[in-house]
Structure 1
């Protein structure tokens, strides 16, 4: 046999082995959802709707992404990206001072919330001079205590930000952590003109609020007894539930203990003990993958509360993956024994932008390659274990054939 023919058979056999292995890997997932094609290559955020998570494991370990050739596509969950809180500059209120006869520049800012501060940013009119000053603190505007001395205020200071505002610049002052009600900056001008301090800012981190998605088809029923109200919730599918919002009527002022249960499990399992009150929104937080949820409200000697409606929510979940332009992808879920994949991408989260374009998943459908479905009538009675044995035998035979051809190609080459 000529080497060219041997190579052709070798490549064909190898392609068959890869194809069989790919089908074998995808055959354990019950459901799939197609992903829309993207116009440019890059990282995309793929939101996971409730319908997808309802078909997956509770810990989401069985989610896989494949391209049209059956190649696995690595991903990370969106919440695994480093969460960078937004930082804003908040101006402290300025305390107005009466006219002074000395030549010092005095600026006082009020720390109304008594925050513990270790940094102030002074906003000043542009200067090309150098002045020395000091920072002190007080709780009553009468008794002042030194915090830091010999502060150099200069446009050339390493802590200056010259282009912060048009016509103005900012300089940062660092000092030991203090929580005085008032902070005073005194600039010693000597016999020279003063400088104009406009504002004092502190940097405040704004935490990123979690995003929730409303779950569809929530039905409720309520049964009141002497000292308890029992509420049953039925969802449209076995959804991942992270929050319930209760619309309460029946009392203007109330504060009741509530116990929430997963009543679809046997025996029922307690999810959370909490309190609902008229002083705050009636929101209950927990995490469970369930279709039936119940909770008991302890009314004690009070009239029962009426739960008019309940809205169930799921924490927003997403995948981050690199997608190629024009390629087709599908997402597979529904393997009860799958474990979390281990992708290298998890070590490169700092290379992924926080603001990413979105790629949309289509409807969830049955995976036609799933091998755990009921056999066709023609194969009725054929045991599933025998089918898997045949698949393993075929792969073994193909491997042996490939090995033999490789040896022959080596000898003739």
Structure 2
């Protein structure tokens, strides 16, 4: 009887192993795209640069990005913007604006950015809380019209401390709005308490951008308005457009930027083109098509000789093993944002860690656990082998159970 139990345990363990293999393979296959990470020469923290081509394949909130090792296991990471700042004296507090609209359904916190700089990070100071909330960040230049910047940003729970307060960083696409509003999704819930919001002076500098390739545009003039249609070859994250304007010598025009998604047109920014400025348009959009609308008034249309698109530099920080190879994964519409313990140890990461990049983005047609040639897909054979193995295990179990049962019956007789 003990032998029978031992056989059953062995077969259950083998069945669990194969089921785990099937689940891991299925999990990896749910990500539509992948890119090989640059091989690291030693174990430690690395800053991983995300190219526009990879970010284009990820969701808007980038919650579906994963780092996988050769065994198919996910490796913890944090966004580079989540690294804490050591020098508390460099914190610049933004003035709070008391403004609550009737349409605001939850807690709101409005601050004014008087620096005039484009920001991609905002530090907020909160009273300690252990609840989970999500916030939306919107921007405005006149406190009347508000434009979306980032949605569904999770607020972290307070780390244990004796101060009664904690800091959290909100990272978002670069925006130059004068006013920023934090909208908390806490309708019919007890509100959380905001104490301050601001930036560290280390971030009060020019942002770094990466060019987006293969931009094409056409323009048409109609009824004192110029319409410029911009097409990209993928669903890129666009944070800056630079317009090369050759004529006239002096101009001052209002411009509206729309993103086109299917048949839906959404305004993402309103700005001014001025011959005394650099004519950079800063906003946040993730689309393959943009529309610019320039109000000319009674003036001649602007002569635009070129348009350049850029994405703000995006980084992940992860602890990588020098003996391992890694891949980036993205493109899973059902993936939830990962919750890694690494975020609680961000203060252990030094600021001068090495930077690595990734290779070309390809469709994730192969299971990571099996190293196959790039031009062949053995997925069907792998599944077939797993099914056959499970069938053989089942037959073996039944056969051995009958034999042991027969022997037990002979002894009893």
TM-score normalised per structure 1: 0.59
**Aligned pairs (5 A) from 1:145-160:** none
Q: Give the structure 2 partner of residue 131 of structure 1.
A: none
Offset at 1:6? 6.6
Separation in structure 2 between the aligned mates of residue 205 and residue 326 of structure 1, nearest angstrom = 34
Aligned to 1:59, the other structure's residue is in SS state: coil
Residue 20 in structure 1 maps to residue 22 in structure 2: yes
Q: Give the structure 2 partner of residue 63 of structure 1.
A: 65
Offset at 1:14? 3.8
Offset at 1:64? 0.9
- CA deviations 1:194-241 (Å, max 9, x no partner) are xxxxxxxxxx86734321100001111111124111111111211010
Aligned to 1:238, the other structure's residue is in SS state: coil
Separation in structure 2 between the aligned mates of residue 84 and residue 276 of structure 1, nearest angstrom = 39
Separation in structure 2 between the aligned mates of residue 224 and residue 206 of structure 1, nearest angstrom = 40
Name structure 1 gaps, 5 residues minimum: 89-203, 371-375, 380-386, 406-413
Equivalent in 257, 262, 274 of residue 259 of structure 2: 262
Separation in structure 2 between the aligned mates of residue 85 and residue 236 of structure 1, nearest angstrom = 42
Equivalent in 302, 322, 325 of residue 328 of structure 1: 325
**Aligned pairs (5 A) from 1:120-131:** none
Given that residues 85 and 208 in structure 1 are in contact (C-alpha distance below 8 angstroms), is that contact kept between their aligned partners in structure 2?
no
CA separation of 1:38 and 1:7: change in aligned 2, threshold 3 A: farther
- CA deviations 1:316-346 (Å, max 9, x no partner) are 1111111112112111111112121111111
Offset at 1:37? 2.4
Offset at 1:358? 2.1
Q: Give the structure 2 partner of residue 318 of structure 1.
A: 315
- CA deviations 1:128-167 (Å, max 9, x no partner) are xxxxxxxxxxxxxxxxxxxxxxxxxxxxxxxxxxxxxxxx
Residue 35 in structure 1 maps to residue 32 in structure 2: no
Aligned to 2:344, the other structure's residue is in SS state: helix
Equivalent in 213, 220, 224 of residue 210 of structure 2: 213
Q: Give the structure 2 partner of residue 76 of structure 1.
A: 78
The size of the alignment, in residue pairs, is 267
Separation in structure 2 between the aligned mates of residue 269 and residue 13 of structure 1, nearest angstrom = 52
- CA deviations 1:59-107 (Å, max 9, x no partner) are 101101111111110111111112568999xxxxxxxxxxxxxxxxxxx
CA RMSD between the two structures: 3.2
**Aligned pairs (5 A) from 1:104-119:** none
Q: Give the structure 2 partner of residue 184 of structure 1.
A: none
Separation in structure 1 between the aligned mates of residue 328 and residue 82 of structure 2, nearest angstrom = 19
4+ residue runs over 4 A deviation: 2-11, 83-88
Separation in structure 1 between the aligned mates of residue 87 and residue 275 of structure 2, nearest angstrom = 31
Separation in structure 2 between the aligned mates of residue 251 and residue 51 of structure 1, nearest angstrom = 35
- CA deviations 1:22-67 (Å, max 9, x no partner) are 1121121111111132211111111111111111111101101111
Aligned to 2:53, the other structure's residue is in SS state: helix
Q: Give the structure 1 partner of residue 50 of structure 2.
A: 48
Name structure 2 gaps, 5 residues minimum: 91-200, 368-376, 402-413
* Higher mean displacement: 76-85 or 253-262: 76-85
Q: Give the structure 1 partner of residue 245 of structure 2.
A: 248
Q: Give the structure 2 partner of residue 275 of structure 1.
A: 272
Q: Give the structure 1 partner of residue 297 of structure 2.
A: 300
Given that residues 87 and 206 in structure 1 are in contact (C-alpha distance below 8 angstroms), is that contact kept between their aligned partners in structure 2?
no
Residue 230 in structure 1 maps to residue 232 in structure 2: no
Given that residues 85 and 206 in structure 1 are in contact (C-alpha distance below 8 angstroms), is that contact kept between their aligned partners in structure 2?
no
Given that residues 87 and 205 in structure 1 are in contact (C-alpha distance below 8 angstroms), is that contact kept between their aligned partners in structure 2?
no
Kindly name which structure, 1 or 2, has the bigger radius of gyration based on alpha carbons. 1
Separation in structure 1 between the aligned mates of residue 86 and residue 302 of structure 2, nearest angstrom = 41
Separation in structure 1 between the aligned mates of residue 9 and residue 38 of structure 2, nearest angstrom = 37
- CA deviations 1:235-264 (Å, max 9, x no partner) are 121101011000012211111000111123
